[in-house]
Each structure stands twice: as structure tokens, then as C-alpha cells.
Structure 1
């Protein structure tokens, strides 16, 4: 289902490009997508690659878009917001993927517009992102539905309360790094067991991908799926026993908690 919306982006970095790539596959018409970036070469690259409008400076589209993404680095956010907040339409939906930028700050800057805070992750760039979003006071069910459909074009999305955003950061925001580490370790194990590196990495990555897909598509608890592959006195339980003895489960839990606490510190 397509969306008859005009969508603008302040910032043309990796996350913005991932979203552009997703929504231009059928969700939003390419001619209704506008990107502003401070580098002319980057604008030319995005325009040529996706057939969208891209330019240095956002004045040409700020008063025309229905949805405006703030896709800029935290240190550049204050300046960028000051430049655009008086130029966007009163009913423009403001979506922020700026890390640490709270709804309170966003609503103070965009007093008339509905605002939504989003925490995406890097697999967005391959259409498999996991995003969470928290709506401000003026963003209701209609706005939440728009956000859900836009983000679903590049993966999956769930709505959460803003108080949960630090935990989202610790789990899905930082989580790809944990999984990359896991894949690398599994690949090392394969090499140690006699496999060639490229084969070991492929086996490890596809195994993680397949296992994750089973959880998502079957709806079964991970413990149930694990039991299905763990035969009595077999190879799998021998490996699982080592992982349990070495504290893999506890280490992953502690990693999520540590990243969550760090996110809270950075947001103060």
C-alpha cells in the first residue's frame, strides 16, 4: 500500500539513506522524497541513486512536506532545529532519530507540530531494521500508524513509551554489535574445527539469520526452538553446556543492562 505523503529528511547519512531506500520501494513516490545534506556531492549521489530530490539546504521543501525526519548527529541537532523549526508547516509530523534527543526538547522546539522519537538500528540499511518509537503529546493514533508504515518499509517497528527508549537502545540499538561478535566467534570456532574462513562465516551468519527468522515467524519461545534441536546426549547439548558454563547467557544480559545504563547517562 502506497502513502500519498511528501517526506523530507534533514541529513543524508546512512540511516536516512536506509529509510529512503525502504520507502521508495513502493511506500512513497520517489518524487515526493526530499533530502537536505550539507555536502553537495552526497546530495548528487542520493539523487542519482534513488531518483529523489536532494540538495544543500532544506528551504525549498520545508513548507511542503507532510513528514520531516531529523536524521542528524546529536552535536548538530540544536543548530539544525533552530534553522528549520519556524519554516515547517503547523501539521508537519516531526520524526527524530537523533540519539538522546528527548520528546521534551523536541516539543519545546516544535510547539505546534506532532513529534515522534525513533530509535532505529543499522540493519535498517538492508531492509531488516528494528525500530522503536515513542509519540509525543500531539501525536495520536493516525500519526503512530504513519510512523509504523514508514519504518516497516525497512524492517519492523514497535511503539513504546519514552521511558523504555534507553532499554531499546541497550537491546536493539546496540544489539547488532553483540550479534556481529557472536557471528565472528562462531566463525572462529568453525576455522578452529577445520573449516575455511569464508565457509565458516557463511555458515555462522546464515545460522544466526535462520534461527532469528524461526523465532519471528513461528512465534515460539526461543527455549522451545532450542529444545527441538537439542537431542539427548547429542552434539548440541554438549555445545550448549559449554556456553552455559562459560556464562554466555549472563554476559548477554549484562551487556544489555550496561548499554541501557550508558544510554541513560548520555541522555542526562
Structure 2
């Protein structure tokens, strides 16, 4: 049984813990750290995991360590635990769940040869439907990558990607739930403008969005086909789609994803600058 450590007990860390336990992993094989001892106690009482406030102590004898902190804190955290990880009898795999930070930047902070995996998660992992894009560092073995994939599968799907694609992945997966939430919000407001109560509008939109998501994931049809299936010639849906196209919806998403990818790239560049000493306990996409 692997010893698993989650550094950072924020939303991403808690979602990962919940998914691992729901997949059948013994809670006592999981240790979570948090600067706030009350938060650690809450996670211990809720999930039955071990909790510590000392990161170096937590990673002793760990097989896999998940870094669930904000990007600005990852490098300081790696520097903090590097020696303890190096002293472990067996190689410890470090899995970063933060946006923007390159494998090279992280490998520069730890002892040479430390296996590091970079993951771009998204918030649907909170309900077990996450999308985790994974890029492996040069010292990660096939077996270690397979173990990380199996563990991350507890909170959604895992897809291996080239690290050079990570900025695009952030734009298409890491941040995209917010795009869908914004569209849903706009549709609710539009429903209210048409005379519906907000409660009814929210029910109509959220249920339709959930159903459409399931169709996208499980029908086996591509988005264009699914859209065409709803679009009768000269019908109501076509009239609405024409307005969206003429309003430049596709161009808006092109520009939005480009802005997101550029921001992700800048986060990576910022990791080369002098680091601050403190960090918040959650991932930021």
C-alpha cells in the first residue's frame, strides 16, 4: 500500500482526498498538511486521514506527494521538502497540481534526479468529473506515471500531454469550466429578461447544461453533430445560433483562450523571478 501525501488542504486537496478514499484507498495511508491546524483537524475528522502542519515530516517515507498549493507557493514548498524527499529509502514522486510552473523550474529546486509530474486539473474534480492533463518529468519511470494516473483517475479522467501543450491545456480544460459557468449565467439573465422568474430560469439552464454535458461525453457524437441535431431548418434554434454567430461567439472564444494561454505562459516565466516565502493552500488555474 502506497503512502500518499497531500500538501495543501484547500478545495483541490480535499477533492483529491475524497476521490482517493471513494476509490477504496485506506484513509490512514493518506496524510494531509495545512498551515491551519483547525483545517487539518476538520479533514481528519471528516475523512479519517492523518494530518500534520510540518511538510517535511509529512513527506518522510512517502511514495507519492501531491502539491495542492497555489502556483506562487510551489517552488518554496519544493525547496522546503527537497532534502526530506531525498532521504527517503525509495524514490518519492512529486505531483504538482498548479498552473503555469514548468517541470524544468520545479526540477531546478529539488535534488537532481527527483521524479516530478506536472498536472493541470480542473474544478469538476470536486464532483468526481475532473479532467487532469499530465506531463511527466525526465526522471519519472513508466511505473510511477502509471501509479499517478491510477490515483488521479479517482477524481476524473487523465490524459497524457506534452508539456509544450500545457498552456493550451490550461485554456481548454483548466479554465474552461468558468467559461461554461459564464454562459449559464448569461442564459439565466436572458431568461429573466424574457419574463421568467430567476428560479425557473436557473432550473431550465442548469438542467439543460448538465444534460448537454452528458451527451457530449457519452453520446459518441462530436459537438458539431449534436448541435446540428437540434437545429431544424428555419427553426427557432437556427435563429438563435445565427445571432450568436453574428455576435462573434467563435472569435470571442478564440481570443479568450489565447489570453488564458498567454497568462499561463507568464505564470511560468514569473517562476524564474525571486520567490516569496509564504503560500496559500489551494491550486489556482
TM-score > 0.5, shorter chain as reference: yes
Structure-1 separation of matches of 2:53 and 2:171: 34
- The corresponding residue for 1:242 is 243
Structure-1 separation of matches of 2:56 and 2:174: 32
TM-fit CA distance, 1:27? 4.0
Contact 2:132–2:157 (8 Å) recurs in 1: yes
> Are the structure 2 counterparts of residues 213 and 110 from structure 1 closer, same or farther at C-alpha, using a change threshold of 3 Å?
farther
TM-fit CA distance, 1:110? 4.1
- The corresponding residue for 1:50 is 47
- The corresponding residue for 2:65 is 68
> Are the structure 2 counterparts of residues 153 and 99 from structure 1 closer, same or farther at C-alpha, using a change threshold of 3 Å?
same
Q: How large is the Cα RMSD of the aligned pairs?
A: 1.5
Structure-1 separation of matches of 2:239 and 2:99: 41
- The corresponding residue for 1:261 is 262
User: Where does the alignment leave 5 or more consecutive residues of structure 1 unmatched?
Assistant: none
Structure-2 separation of matches of 1:59 and 1:245: 56
Structure-1 separation of matches of 2:98 and 2:180: 23
Contact 1:27–1:153 (8 Å) recurs in 2: no
TM-fit CA distance, 1:64? 2.0
Partner secondary structure for residue 134 of structure 1: strand
Structure-1 separation of matches of 2:159 and 2:209: 22
TM-fit CA distance, 1:58? 3.0
Q: Which has the higher contact order (CA 8 A, sep 6+)?
A: 2
User: Where does the alignment leave 5 or more consecutive residues of structure 2 unmatched?
Assistant: 270-285
Contact 2:133–2:160 (8 Å) recurs in 1: yes
TM-fit CA distance, 1:200? 1.0
Contact 2:52–2:58 (8 Å) recurs in 1: no
